[in-house]
Amino acid sequence: MPTKISGTYLDLAVALPLKSNDSLFIASDVTQMALDARNDGNAFNANAFIESFQNVLSEGDLLIPAYTDNLKDGDTFDHSKSKPTTGALSNKVGRRKDFIRSKDPLHSVYAWGKSATTISELDGQSSLGEDSIFHWMHDNKAKMMCIDVHFQNSLTYVHFVEERRKVKYRKPYNWTIKRVFKEHSDEKSFVFYSRQPWVLTDLELLQNKAIEKGVAQVFEINNATILFFEILEMHQLIESMLDNGEKLHRINLVHFAKGIAKRILGKS
């Protein structure tokens, strides 16, 4: 059963099992929280929400995804101007001066706290693998919170585990993307360990197992649902599922055929 949290969205941070020196990654869709606030006669204040976590994590780190996973090989990533595809909270945080954006052209994050500078300088040769933000989260025993978002749309970390395990349904692609920074530009060549064209990620079973086994704690505040977990425990669950042959993907030949047709039409 979910643990009920009383109060408003501003009471969430203090109600979660967080320590002052924790590193927390927040994936979110804050639509329901905003609706709940409006129904109570208030506006959702994204800055106040972020600051409620900064107060709790006074000696730790706060990470907000700033992914630009709409980019393709050969595109340009503007470090200060490329808008994240990861929701309203990401775009709000991007306008704050106390967060630093990391360099990865596909999977950057906004970082605040004791490790922000270190995170901002991560520049590995794999977007999902060694020296990526996901590698950092693993090594620093980060925690993660998903607000009203399914693992399917938030747990990119699963691909870090898949890359380490060299799963057959994903493969390394060599990409080059131009990066534009305030003081210079460069071209970043890196590996993107992505799915095969006939494969779709499917994390329904993973989310169900995480909840059933208590790896992910479920909280409810008003009408919003929060999944909260430790990255290392999630890592172990993902590995055990791979060991047992439990699927984190599905085959979709229709999707594959549509992709082929789209490429053919694009060249005609």
Please state, in angstroms and as integers, the Cα–Cα distance from residue 99 to each residue in 15, 61, 95, 139, following that order: 24, 10, 9, 21
Q: What is the DSSP string of 25-80?
A: EEEE-THHHHHHHHHTT----HHHHHHHHHHHTTTSEEEEE---TT--TT-EEETT
Residue 8 has pLDDT above 90, yes or no: yes
Identify the pLDDT of residue 261: 56
Identify the pLDDT of residue 1: 84
268 pLDDT band, cuts 50/70/90, is very low
Q: 204-226 pLDDT, tens per residue?
A: 999 999 999 999 999 999 999 99
What span, in angstroms and rounded, lies between the C-alpha atoms of 162 and 170?
A: 8
Q: For residue 264, give both structure tokens.
A: 């053919």
E-strand ranges in the chain read 3-5, 23-28, 61-65, 76-78, 100-101, 109-113, 143-147, 170-180, 185-195, 199-201, 217-221, 224-230, 249-251
How far from chain centre, in Å, is Cα 121? 18
Q: 139-184 pLDDT, tens per residue?
A: 999 999 999 999 999 999 999 999 999 999 999 999 999 999 999 9
Question: pTM (2 decimals)?
Answer: 0.93
Q: 83-121 pLDDT, tens per residue?
A: 999 999 999 999 999 999 999 999 999 999 999 999 999
What span, in angstroms and rounded, lies between the C-alpha atoms of 199 and 69?
A: 17
Return the ∠ at Cα 178 (arms to 183 and 137), rounded to 5°: 85
Identify the pLDDT of residue 264: 59
Non-local (6+) Cβ contacts of 78 within 8 A are 179, 180
Identify the pLDDT of residue 262: 61
Tell me what the pLDDT averaged over the chain comes to: 95
CB distance 186 to 179 below 8 Å? yes
User: Between β-strands 224-230 and 185-195, what pairing exists: parallel, antiparallel or unpaired?
Assistant: unpaired
252 pLDDT band, cuts 50/70/90, is confident
Q: What is the DSSP string of 66-82?
A: ---TT--TT-EEETTTP
